[in-house]
Homo-oligomer: A and B are copies of this chain.
Amino acid sequence: MTSLVDVARAAGVAVATASRVLSGSDHPVSAKTRAKVVAAAEKLDYSPSALARAMVSPNSRLMGVLVSDIVNPYFSVIARGVDDVATRAGYVTMLSNVDRSTATEISRLQAMRDYRAAGVIFAGSGYVDDPHRPGLLKAVRQAREQGILAVSLADRDLGCPTITVDHHAAAHDITDHLVALGHRRITFIEGPSGMTVTRQRREGFLARMRDAGLGGGARCVPGGFDYEAGHTATLRLIARRPLPDAVLAANDEVAVGALGALRQAGIDVPGEISVAGINDLRVAQHVGLTTVSLPLYEMGSLAARHIIESAPGAATDGAATTTLSHRLVPRETTARRPPER
């Protein structure tokens, strides 16, 4: 392990000088000396210890991101956004999966705090009536007091900046699309029970239905966030006909699961029934699913940018909320309601 001392010795200069050259300081150093140092560093295969650097500087250049499950494309897109700007800024991204467990979230936050991360991004949604919430709040506050910027990507009231999307409005808008197509009886396949985002999307759906005077035609059934959930829920729907005019799924994967069940049963989409999702991930594009596009990548990159820009000791914006806009993406799984049924 060759250190700055070794380089300095090999170059015949003081460590301070070597440091000035190798750390890109603006302190003046003669061209000749500079060359000697660079040559020595090269020859000795010097690798500056980011650890030692982080200890002495106020900024570790470590970017933390907490996701529920990186295998879930919703989160991998966010993580990609984070890592892209982190890398560009010379940071390294630390990733942890927390499996929707607030307790795990707290413990991984601690781990990242131990490494003095410049910031930690909470990508996941919170829970309604979460018993661990006070503990999380405390952990976030303590991290902040230590200079670690937290950013939430969902409405969680964590006492930190929030960069999110209006899930209620997203569900509202896609429901509106369905209603505008003439659908009256619409079934919403919900997300995992207890999650805040599940409730927000459900309420958005119900609000639009009520406003359209279609409250009676609105139905909500339990689901989840994966193919399986959409498939199962839809099978149940098919079993107890009549079918609704349309199905709105909690997210794209659920919608694709629903699509599969419907087609296997020989039910034409969108001929007999319309199907829509939320998120607009790659799979939605592929199957031509009508959905709402959420700026997931931007949420990740913006959060990272925020952390980098407020890096050392800038004024914390308290807990400002930035809401990014979503966009309706009509595709081939929704169509005007057939005049007769």
A-side interface residues toward B, CB under 8 Å?
A: 1, 45, 47-52, 54-55, 60, 62, 69-71, 73, 76-77, 79-80, 83-84, 87, 92-97, 108, 110-116, 142, 145-147, 226-228, 231, 256-257, 260, 282-283, 285-287
Contact = CB atoms under 8 A, between A and B. Distances in A.
B87 A49 contact: no
25 contacts: A1-B146, A45-B142, A45-B145, A47-B114, A50-B114, A51-B60, A70-B70, A70-B79, A70-B83, A71-B76, A80-B97, A83-B95, A83-B97, A87-B96, A92-B96, A92-B111, A93-B95, A93-B96, A94-B95, A226-B282, A227-B283, A231-B286, A256-B286, A257-B286, A283-B283
A197 to B, nearest CB: 20
A261 to B, nearest CB: 11
Q: DSSP class of A's interface residues: helix, strand, loop or mixed? A: helix
A69 B73 contact: no
B70 A282 contact: no
Contacts of A282: 71, 226-227
A41 B283 CA distance: 49
Nearest to A146: B1
Nearest to A95: B95
Contacts of A87: 96-97, 108
Nearest to A1: B146
B287 A260 contact: yes
Contacts of A69: 80
Given A69-B80, A227-B286, 18 more contacts: A1-B147, A45-B142, A47-B110, A47-B146, A49-B116, A50-B111, A51-B54, A70-B70, A70-B79, A71-B77, A71-B80, A76-B76, A79-B95, A87-B97, A94-B94, A227-B283, A231-B286, A260-B287
